């Protein structure tokens, strides 16, 4: 059961850029009682696992199991999105959207961003996580043809005007300062609106 949020941060970034790490860090700062992480890939993986008789929990982690099915899961998800661009966004909101602050940790397509900007325009901010390729490689990234050159990884690389850009290249102090500024900004907006 979802409620109308007071603030939404819609995250995008390449694989191994640190989207999940930063999402969890922000959630801790806001407090889990106020902030929910909505993963658009969660409902996708849940439905894909159900329809293909797979282990849903293994599809959620960063395991070899997920990588084995990633390309087919992406293809299946694209077919669902072509039929209904907001399908996975609505599922994520209906399952997890019951707190005043939402972090959408894995927007991958323009249709994902459009859904939140259209339906929650006044409270949505877009966030791009940037990390140099050599840093991502150190974190375990390895280019995979058909995945890293697909829309799910490249669809938001150009033509977006991000509200917030976070550089996550290993400078922990700079990252912490940026996250503190984001939390301060949102908390100030919430206080001004008495939300």
Q: Cα(116)–Cα(9) distance, rounded to whole angstroms?
A: 9
91: domain CATH number is 3.40.50.300
Residues annotated within a binding site for substrate? 168
pLDDT tens per residue across span 8-51: 999 999 999 999 999 999 999 999 999 999 999 888 888 899 99
**Residue 17 falls within a domain, yes or no?**
yes
Most confident range (mean pLDDT) of 49-58, 84-93, 161-170 is: 161-170
Q: Is residue 30 part of a domain?
A: yes
Structure letter (DSSP) for residue 158: S
Task: Return the pLDDT at 42.
Answer: 83
Does some domain include residue 59? yes
Q: Which residues are annotated as a binding site?
A: 14-20, 139, 168
Q: Which residue ranges make up the annotated binding site for ATP?
A: 14-20, 139
Name 60's Cβ contacts closer than 8 Å, sequence gap at least 6.
Answer: 42, 45, 66
Total domains in the fold of the chain: 1
pLDDT at 63 over 80: no
pLDDT single digits (tens) 132-176: 999 999 999 999 888 898 887 888 999 899 999 999 999 999 999
Domain that holds residue 140: 7-192
């Amino acid at each position: 059961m979802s409620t109308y949020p007071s603030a939404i941060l819609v995250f995008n970034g390449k694989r191994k850029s640190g989207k999940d790490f930063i999402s969890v860090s922000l959630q801790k700062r806001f407090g889990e009682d106020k902030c929910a992480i909505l993963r658009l890939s969660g409902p996708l993986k849940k439905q894909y696992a159900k329809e293909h008789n797979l282990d849903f929990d293994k599809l959620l982690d960063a395991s070899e199991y997920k990588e084995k099915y990633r390309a087919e899961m992406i293809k299946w998800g694209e077919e669902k999105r072509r039929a209904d661009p907001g399908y996975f966004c609505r599922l994520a909101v209906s399952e997890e959207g019951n707190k005043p602050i939402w972090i959408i940790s894995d927007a991958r397509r323009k249709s994902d961003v459009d859904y939140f900007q259209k339906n929650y325009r006044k409270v949505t901010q877009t966030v791009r996580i940037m990390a140099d390729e050599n840093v991502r490689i150190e974190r375990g990234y390895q280019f995979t043809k058909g995945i890293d050159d697909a829309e799910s990884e490249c669809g938001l690389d150009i033509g977006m005007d991000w509200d917030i850009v976070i550089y996550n290249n290993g400078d922990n102090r700079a990252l912490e300062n940026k996250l503190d500024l984001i939390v301060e900004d949102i908390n100030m907006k919430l206080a001004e609106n008495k939300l």
